[in-house]
Amino acid sequence: MQNLSVRIFPDPILQKQSKEVDNIDEKIVKLTKSMIETMKDSDGVGLSAPQVGILKRIFVCRDFSDEDKETFLILINPTIIDYQGRVESKEGCLSIPGFYEYIYRYEKINMKALDINGEEQNFHSDGQQSIVFQHEFDHLNGILFPERMTQIKKEIFLKRINKAFK
């Protein structure tokens, strides 16, 4: 497995759009395994490919339906197909370590994605799973969670993190 390191804000790759995966080959399989290990080693619950410097539409995350916390999901080329409700969640990010803030997300989402075998999967999620899916999906579009804050909260938050990461 490759040794991956999490990119930290303000690394410019974190604000770039990821490209779709055309072929799920051995390289992609190895990448997803390494991403899961990196996420676990970092005590994270989700990790996107851009966070490890790879602009591919892939993310991995914990499967919150597994109470033992040992099952992980791999989503390739994910798309949100439906959403409903609104919920406030306190979020942090492995790429902005030590900073947390409340933001709004959809309460429930339906997402489709390819699994590691290239099979299309549909995910109907709510609660923490829905929030993690949305957070990681944002990364694939170059969006960090402070972008989801109100303008005034975002300005204050960005001043704090810019000062901390200089």
Query: Would you call 136 a catalytic residue per the annotation?
Result: yes
Query: What six digits make up the tokens of 82?
Result: 């439906």
In 3D space, the residue among 67, 85, 74 whose CA is nearest the CA of residue 36 turns out to be 74
- Catalytically annotated residue among 101, 136, 147, 155: 136
- C-alpha torsion sign, points 11, 12, 14, 19: negative
Give the Cβ contact number of residue 82 at 10 Å.
11
Residue among 147, 107, 151 at smallest CA distance from 15: 147
Residues marked as catalytic: 136
